[in-house]
Amino acid sequence: MNQGVGPWQHTTVLLNEAVDALVHSPDGYYVDGTYGRGGHSRLILSRLSAAGRLLAIDRDPDAVAHATSGTARVTDPRFHIEHAPYSELPALLAARGVSRIDGLLLDIGVSSPQIDNPERGFSFRASGPLDMRMDPTRGESAADYLARADEREIASVIRDYGEERFATAIARALVARRLAGRPVRTTEELSELVAQAVKTREPGQNPATRTFQALRIFVNAELTQLEQGLAAALQCLKPGGRLVVISFHSLEDRIVKTFIASHSKAVVDRRAPFAPPAPMRLRAVARVKPGADEVAANPRARSAILRVAERTDVGVAA
């Protein structure tokens, strides 16, 4: 595994829209929970005063290396980066003596450098080790998972996280290959196996697309991380603080949309019908999609949805 910065580039999606929604006080304390290659962070810093602060977080060591070494490193004294998942935000803030923040940005999913580097194992477009971990220093690779999981579990992962209707056939083929002494270890092997197991596919889509998505989400516990990160935002945002989330597929966006909606209304406890309802804690502000020009320039932006919510001031200490 190459842990260097590497030549792979990333075009930040909804850059201005996200930062415009996030930064409402130039003196504020902001968090970029998914640093990537720093596109959002650099624009946030340009909007801050000398008193403003930005904490960046990324679970990928390559992203942290990009921010801290080489010609692309960030030397701004208002900036600090941590190697961690954004779900650990409360602990990271506490370690820096910060209790409340003015805004949190989450750009969910895989980044272009992760996809484009064959050694990371995220893509079927080039052969490489079937890893898929956003943090290769922790956890189990996709290949190791497929080498031990049973057919029913693999099918469930591919069906639930990839919305793949041929999940059972793919899982059966994976286990049969493993039992024959040839477990899948590379992206090319997995892609070829799925192509043989999937008999039909939408025009223009690689048959392995949904399987690769499912395994990546599962290996990195992405949906659990998102749920925990949203809960952390509710805990850490100041009154008036902004939550800005960019998601790229329906599973992620559904979680974000439901979370904002569930906290954007007063809740009545049915067990105590005469008690006052619990107050709303968020206010939905905006839903934004990339314009035609951005999608034309960066096709990976086509499925992006940006949602913005603001922390209400009821029952929150600044």
Task: Flag the least confident range among 103-112, 122-131, 197-206, 262-271.
Answer: 262-271
Domains, in order of start, for the chain = 15-113+222-311 (3.40.50.150), 136-219 (1.10.150.170)
The yes-or-no verdict on residue 317 having pLDDT over 50 is: no
pLDDT value of residue 269: 55
Query: Cα separation of 105 and 23, whole Å?
Result: 10
The pLDDT, as a whole number, for residue 5 is 42
Per-residue confidence band for 313, with pLDDT thresholds at 50, 70 and 90: confident
Query: For the whole model, what pTM was predicted?
Result: 0.90
Mean pLDDT of the chain: 91
- Three-class SS of residue 50? coil
- Could you report the per-residue pLDDT of 31-90, keeping only the tens digit for each? 999 999 999 999 999 999 999 999 999 999 999 999 999 888 999 999 999 999 999 999
- Kindly report, residue by residue over 167-206, the tens digit of the pLDDT: 999 999 999 999 999 999 999 999 999 999 998 777 778 9
Higher pLDDT, 207 or 11: 207
Q: pLDDT over 70 for what percent of the chain?
A: 91
Question: Is 45 in contact with 263 (CB distance < 8 Å)?
Answer: no
Cα–Cα distance between 294 and 45 in angstroms, integer? 23
**pLDDT for 160 beyond 60:** yes
pLDDT at position 128 is 96
Confidence of residue 29 (pLDDT cuts 50, 70, 90): very high
Q: Which residues contact 293 (CB under 8 A, 6 or more apart)?
A: none
pLDDT band at residue 316 using 50, 70 and 90 as cut-offs: very low
pLDDT of residue 274: 60
Where would I find the H helices in 37-133? Answer: 39-47, 61-68, 89-95, 112-116
Identify the residue with better confidence: 315 or 10: 10
C-alpha–C-alpha distance, residues 196 and 205, integer Å? 15
- Alpha-carbon distance 229 to 82, whole Å? 15
Residue 102: in which H helix or E strand, if any? strand 101-107
pLDDT per residue as tens digits for the range 235-276: 999 999 999 999 999 999 999 999 999 999 765 556 666 656
